[in-house]
Structure 1
Amino acid sequence: MLRYLDHVRFEKRLAERTSTLYRLDLIRLAEMAQASGVPLLQVQTGHIRRWVAQMHSAGRSGRGIALILSGWRGFYTWLGREALVSHNPVVDVRAPRVAKPLPKALGVDEAVQLADHEETGDDPWLEARDAAMVELLYGCGLRVAELTGLDVVASADASRAGRGWIDLQNAEVQVQGKGSKRRSVPLGSAAMAALAHWLALRPQVPGMLTQAVPGASSAALALFPGQRGTRLSARGVEQRLQRRSQLAGLATPVHPHMLRHSFASHVLQSSGDLRAVQELLGHANITTTQVYTRLDFQHLAKAYDAAHPRAKRK
């Protein structure tokens, strides 16, 4: 073991901190092997799997176990090169899967609070623009790139460039999603009202056009421009949304994708129609959409804990 640690430190020239972690992992390996009554050179894959299970049941995270296994795997690889073992018992062992965190979503009241907030300190067109952006992010479940890619009207250039547009006549937003896939998302009454108000003030922004003109720049047709007349960036949307959520009194800053998660979660809670949510979000695979069923179950579990007499623990 000491020879291997010298190899790690001097030949591989790993950092002091990394060498220390390797040493601690090997000490753990030696202790587990000793407790099982097996010499280090005779450890089998079954032993490694059992020790992984023990570490996992003791509360060590899957990521932590993966790092330990990486150190052990390197040790037995070196032993194999030194002809001290015939096979690497760690090579086919993997750490337990790390559970994917649930997407962060606002509660219904919080989402409505954000959408209804009015900021009187801004220029009227800025407030109207930000309100319309919130309605499209939360009311339609758009990705931030889909939002910033929207034009005020349809144009051949927009179609070629992979941008979407607003179709107020049919109460739809035409979206260019991932993989260059287009989809139509219905506009609710709140989104329609916010867009109508914003489009009435949009000409106040320098250089903005209200109809497709041959040769017009992308920025001139952008549904959501910045203060300099250029197409608003994803980072610009994030900054405005964080500011708005704080001014609205929400406990945590809101980012655009949180509103997409909120849209999906709230539609699923109300309808229970997973396939419809998949279509609205533009997911190619329904397994991607199924994560929102976990959020929905969380909502039901909280309601049960709060309301059912048998759920209340003494």
Structure 2
Amino acid sequence: MSETFDRYFSHLKDTGSSAHTVSGYRKDLLAFASWYRGTFGEDPEPEKITSIDLREYQGWMRNVKGLKPNTVNRRMKAVKSWLSWCVNQGLAPRLPDFPKGVPEARRAPQALERAEVNRLLREVEREGDPRDAALIRLMLSCGLRVSEAVSLRLEDVDVGERHGVIVVRSGKGGKYREVPVPPAARRALREWLAVREKKYPRSPWLFPGATDDRPLTPGAAWRIVKKYAWKARISDLHPHTLRHTCATNMLRSGANLVEVASVLGHARLDSTAVYTRPSVADLARAVERGEA
């Protein structure tokens, strides 16, 4: 089994999967192997695994371990991917039938409350670093992903006092889009551009990294955001939280789904519609209002 798993993980690496993805699949498949050995007293040889085994594994995760639906579905997906590869390699005669995925109670992605946004921006203003202010504003006001923000070149930025457009040339899936820049973000960008022109005259990047010829890395950019989140006493801030906050604020201000989808670069409206779902905080307020 160890050799089969190792060959599969090598296949994932060879086909471009990230180290994070490979690590996740490894953990999920080892969990399945552990359950299989404990249940049947032998290794999970791919040719022996049946649809009944898969249903029992799913049921064990749900009813005995009490795992969340997304964890159950993710582990089943890892097993299915591995078994599909085994079939293609001739290690199993066919792919067994998999049970339906466990329905997930989906809510809106995590977004900052207004008070949290104010605390974050207050700390940014106190620090007085124009680069950090411009970087955070691009994610919070324009909905850019971290990777999109650090990939911007000078030629992608057109901002003045009364106009502003950011060109994202390689968004998710290689999509091109133009994003309007609102007033506060325009002001932050202009202030950073004035400083940047003197500090990095030869760099083509909006946010230069350790050397002029390289941009700031996504990891470095996110550490900057986390620094201000810590100062503002905001816990569990994730890489997409500022983007989620931008989308949520646009919808609450009256923007429609098509407009928000265009800003975020979503190809499908159902990707944007998740922001219309109530958050845990929204549900808590609703319950409080309805309490007798």
Counterpart pick for 1:258 among 241, 261, 285: 241
Counterpart pick for 1:184 among 172, 178, 187: 178
Alpha carbons 2:167, 2:177 under 8 Å: kept: yes
For residues 101 and 258 of structure 1, the distance between their equivalents in structure 2, rounded to whole angstroms, comes to 14
Alpha carbons 2:58, 2:72 under 8 Å: kept: no
For residues 272 and 17 of structure 1, the distance between their equivalents in structure 2, rounded to whole angstroms, comes to 44
Q: Residues 191 and 17 of structure 1: is their aligned pair in 2 closer, same or farther, counting only changes over 3 Å?
A: closer
Displacement of 1:200 = 2.2
Q: Residues 172 and 286 of structure 1: is their aligned pair in 2 closer, same or farther, counting only changes over 3 Å?
A: same
For residues 18 and 59 of structure 1, the distance between their equivalents in structure 2, rounded to whole angstroms, comes to 13
Q: Residues 12 and 304 of structure 1: is their aligned pair in 2 closer, same or farther, counting only changes over 3 Å?
A: closer
Displacement of 1:237 = 0.6
What is aligned with 1:134? 136
Counterpart pick for 1:200 among 175, 188, 194: 194
Q: Residues 20 and 129 of structure 1: is their aligned pair in 2 closer, same or farther, counting only changes over 3 Å?
A: closer
SS in 1 for 2:240: helix
Counterpart pick for 1:91 among 74, 96, 100: 96
Aligned residues: 245
Alpha carbons 1:246, 1:253 under 8 Å: kept: no
For residues 61 and 144 of structure 2, the distance between their equivalents in structure 1, rounded to whole angstroms, comes to 42
The aligned amino acid for 1:21 is W
In structure 1, the gaps of 5 or more residues are: 1-7, 28-43, 75-87, 155-163, 209-216
TM-score of the superposed pair, with normalisation by structure 2: 0.66
Name the structure, 1 or 2, with higher relative contact order (CA <8 Å, separation 6+): 2
Counterpart pick for 2:266 among 280, 283, 303: 283
> Highest CA radius of gyration, 1 or 2?
1
Q: Residues 49 and 129 of structure 1: is their aligned pair in 2 closer, same or farther, counting only changes over 3 Å?
A: closer
Alpha carbons 1:265, 1:292 under 8 Å: kept: yes
For residues 136 and 13 of structure 1, the distance between their equivalents in structure 2, rounded to whole angstroms, comes to 42
For residues 98 and 108 of structure 2, the distance between their equivalents in structure 1, rounded to whole angstroms, comes to 27
After superposition, what is the alpha-carbon deviation per residue over 1:121-166, rounded to whole angstroms, capped at 9, x for unaligned?
x6x6xx01101111111000001122112223x3xxxxxxxxx323
Alpha carbons 1:264, 1:277 under 8 Å: kept: yes
Alpha carbons 1:172, 1:184 under 8 Å: kept: yes
SS in 2 for 1:225: coil
For residues 278 and 182 of structure 1, the distance between their equivalents in structure 2, rounded to whole angstroms, comes to 13
TM-score of the superposed pair, with normalisation by structure 1: 0.62
Displacement of 1:55 = 7.1
Aligned Cα root-mean-square deviation (Å): 4.2
The aligned amino acid for 1:133 is L
For residues 13 and 195 of structure 1, the distance between their equivalents in structure 2, rounded to whole angstroms, comes to 49
In structure 2, the gaps of 5 or more residues are: 7-29, 42-49, 84-93
Alpha carbons 1:242, 1:253 under 8 Å: kept: no
Q: Please say which of residues 108-117 and 56-65 is displaced more in the overlay.
A: 56-65
The aligned amino acid for 2:120 is L
The aligned amino acid for 1:305 is V
What is aligned with 2:207? 224
For residues 50 and 255 of structure 1, the distance between their equivalents in structure 2, rounded to whole angstroms, comes to 34
